[in-house]
């Protein structure tokens, strides 16, 4: 939709973390990107110019080791694995506008430019690092953070093993940023969400910050430090920079940079909040660049109550679950099942319950009942309403209140509450059908039946429009079945009522029921 329709609306820039290419994509990756995809789709439909960025994090020791283990040169290895993340975007219908790879020239240039800025600002000095490092997390840890592991190794709070590292290193003067960071958090109360995470970050920073080692010399797979070829940049400094590379940095006058920076939202998992909420704003402030507006740390998924891990062998393959339950169904489940920010459990039972109850029964039956009654009893055309009764007005008012409600929930990443609000109206519409009993009106008062069915068709249209970001396929089919033209499918279409008189085709259910493989006796929805 053109920006001209909503000239007052600000552009929206949203990012996923860039994913390490050491491993195949799993549920954790799709969850982060899915949440961004829903927001990006919502904002576009709401008339905003959107940039939605994802990509791959390709440097560092962890990736280098994985390449070696695969018997491949790191660049060839990252080319191959990065492609699997692109393929995943297509399979999950992620609508990202750009896909960044940290091995691209534009990114090398941006990272080196940021390094210069930090150096010019006097925030970088040469020293030597002696301390603990976890390759799995690509993170440095203080002695006080570690515990003893079973095999005599020390363990980081994340569960990763750490190794002792001693090497020459450049440092970023993070210790000097403690007060300025605390002031920044105080002045920008929405910068870290949810609140519990914000409090954790603030108390961590209050506990004191050590200077951060930002270069390595013991391996080569990374971006060279400008003017010192013995050093490569610490992979997190390189990785975080991707968010500004993608909008044209170091050209801060680039149109994209001016439109989209500071980013509206960096979506991250709770495990990588420290990098985004402490290091990243410190780097940016030091370089004279405005930090992003917000960082949201989401929770982690377990499966059937168990931590997901390769050693347990319970990794959820993002292709398998889509094949098994359907893409829209899984997208809906992941964002409806838990309050966003909390951890969640993926269980077959819960998935099937959402699929059959919320989708097939509640939304699916509502749409199917309404469309079939119109198809059969209104000569296959959207009927014209007569005079509205208070019950009709109340039904329409409930639907009309959805856009501002959902918009406000999604502005704070309240996916579950947004869906709760949508399903409350679905519930109300199902009760309205039962109370109005249009199948009885067909014989007693056909004009009244037409009004009731018109009200219901309008409510279904609004629900289909508003649930598009979550379930792009089923809603597309619903809008097709309501004969909605392509230019009436964004949220501007909510400010007008459904047009009467359009012919509709014979409707078909869009939310199939889940049928257990051994008991395939039921069919279709409704
Ligand atoms: N490369 C860094 C990010 C750099 S951003 C400048 C990285 N990559 S990652 O591949 O490990 O990213 C994983 C993302 O998936 C993180 O946001 C993480 O929280 C998320 N998840 C990994 N496992 C997960 C679950 N079991 N559940 C939910 N999300 C989890 O970190």
Closest ligand 1 atom to 270 CA: 19
Q: Is 338 in the pocket of ligand 1 (CB under 6 A)?
A: no
- Minimum mean pLDDT range among 19-28, 124-133, 407-416: 19-28
Phi-psi region of 346 (alpha: psi -120 to 50; beta: other; left: phi over 0): beta
Ligand 1: does its nearest atom lie under 6 Å from the Cβ of 57? Answer: yes
CA distance 165 to 176: 24
pLDDT class of 521 with cuts at 50, 70, 90: low
- Predicted pLDDT of residue 416: 98
Euclidean distance between CA atoms 242 and 100, whole angstroms: 7
Q: What is the mean pLDDT of residues 489-496?
A: 98
Cα(9) to ligand 1 centroid in Å equals 31
The CB of 449 under 6 Å from ligand 1? The reply is no
Name the DSSP letter for residue 226.
T
Residue 378, Cβ density class (10 Å: 0-12 exposed, 13-18 middle, ≥19 buried): buried
Helix (H, G, I), strand (E, B) or coil at 276: helix
**Which of 3-17, 73-87, 177-191, 315-329 is the least confident region?**
3-17
Question: Cβ distance 213 to 173 under 8 Å?
Answer: no
17 close to ligand 1 (CB < 6 Angstrom):
yes
Centre of ligand 1 to C-alpha 488, Å, is 37
DSSP, residue by residue, 82-146: HHHHHHHHHHTT---SEEEETTSHHHHHHHHHHHHHHHHTT-EEEEEEEEEEETTTTEEE-GGG-
Q: Whose CA is nearest to atom 30 of ligand 1?
A: 28
Pairing of strands 147-148, 139-141: unpaired
User: Which residue CA neighbors atom 12 of ligand 1 most closely?
Assistant: 19
Q: Is the pLDDT of residue 471 over 50?
A: yes
- The DSSP result for 21-52, as a single string, is TTS---HHHHHHHHHHHHHHHHHHHTT--EEE
Instruction: Report whether pLDDT(409) > 60.
Output: yes
CA of 30 to the centre of ligand 1 (A): 10
What is the CA(139)–ligand 1 centre distance, in A? 14
Q: Is any ligand 1 atom within 6 A of the Cβ of residue 273?
A: no
Q: Would you state the pLDDT for residue 308?
A: 86
pLDDT range class, residue 517, cuts 50, 70, 90? confident
pLDDT value at residue 3: 40
- Give yes or no for residue 243 CB within 6 A of ligand 1: no
pLDDT of 2 strictly over 60: no
Can you give the pLDDT at residue 522? Answer: 52
The 10s digit of each residue's pLDDT in 340-383 is 999 999 999 999 999 999 999 999 999 999 999 999 999 999 99
pLDDT of the residue at 4: 45
Of the candidates 85, 91, 30, 93, the one whose C-alpha atom is nearest the C-alpha of residue 335 is 30
How many angstroms separate the alpha carbon of residue 459 from the centre of ligand 1?
38
Phi, psi of 250 (to 5 degrees): -85, 5
Rounded to the nearest 5°, which phi and psi values hold at 440? -80, -45
């Amino acid at each position: 939709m053109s920006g001209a329709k909503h000239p007052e609306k600000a552009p929206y820039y949203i990012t996923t973390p860039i994913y390490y290419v050491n491993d195949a994509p799993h549920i954790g990756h799709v969850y982060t990107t899915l949440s961004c995809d829903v927001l990006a789709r919502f904002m576009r439909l709401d008339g905003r110019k959107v940039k939605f960025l994802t990509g791959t994090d390709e440097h560092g020791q962890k990736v280098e080791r994985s390449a070696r283990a695969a018997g491949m040169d790191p660049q060839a290895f990252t080319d191959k694995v990065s492609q699997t993340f692109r393929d995943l975007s297509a399979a999950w219908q992620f609508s990202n506008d750009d896909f960044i790879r940290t091995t691209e020239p534009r990114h090398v240039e941006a990272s080196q430019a940021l390094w210069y800025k930090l150096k010019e600002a006097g925030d970088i000095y040469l020293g030597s690092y002696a301390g603990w490092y976890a390759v799995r997390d690509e993170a440095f840890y203080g002695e006080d953070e570690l515990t003893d592991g079973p095999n005599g190794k020390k363990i980081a709070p994340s569960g990763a093993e750490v190794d002792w590292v001693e090497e020459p290193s450049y440092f970023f003067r993070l210790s000097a940023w403690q007060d300025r960071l605390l002031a920044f958090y105080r002045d920008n109360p929405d910068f870290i969400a949810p609140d519990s995470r914000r409090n954790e970050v603030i108390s961590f920073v209050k506990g004191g910050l050590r200077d951060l080692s930002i270069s390595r010399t013991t391996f080569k797979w990374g971006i060279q430090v400008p003017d010192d070829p013995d050093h490569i940049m610490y992979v997190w400094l390189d990785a975080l920079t991707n968010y500004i590379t993608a909008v044209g940095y170091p050209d801060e006058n680039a149109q994209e940079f001016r439109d989209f920076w500071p980013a509206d939202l960096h979506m991250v998992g709770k495990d990588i909040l420290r990098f985004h909420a402490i290091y990243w704003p410190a780097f940016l402030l030091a370089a004279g660049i405005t930090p992003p507006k917000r960082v949201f740390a989401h929770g982690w998924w377990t499966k059937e109550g168990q931590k997901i891990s390769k050693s347990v062998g319970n990794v959820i393959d993002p292709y398998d679950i889509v094949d098994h339950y359907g893409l829209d169904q899984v997208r809906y489940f992941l964002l409806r099942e838990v309050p966003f920010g909390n951890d969640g459990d993926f269980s077959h039972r819960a998935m099937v319950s959402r699929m059959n109850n919320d989708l097939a029964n509640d939304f699916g039956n509502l749409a199917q009942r309404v469309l079939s009654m119109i198809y059969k009893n209104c000569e296959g055309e959207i009927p014209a309403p007569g005079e509205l009764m208070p019950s009709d007005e109340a039904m329409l008012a409930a639907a009309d209140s959805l856009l501002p409600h959902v918009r406000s929930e999604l502005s704070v990443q309240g996916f579950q509450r947004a869906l709760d609000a949508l399903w409350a109206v679905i519930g109300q519409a199902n009760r309205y059908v039962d109370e109005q009993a249009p199948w009885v009106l067909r014989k007693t008062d056909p004009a009244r039946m037409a009004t009731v069915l018109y009200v219901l068709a309008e409510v279904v249209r609004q629900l289909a429009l508003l649930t598009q970001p979550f379930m792009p396929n089923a809603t597309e089919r619903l809008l097709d079945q309501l004969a909605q033209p392509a230019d009436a499918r964004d949220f501007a279409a909510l400010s007008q009522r459904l047009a009467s008189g359009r012919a509709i085709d014979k409707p078909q259910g869009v939310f199939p029921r889940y049928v257990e493989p051994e008991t395939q006796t039921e069919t279709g929805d409704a």
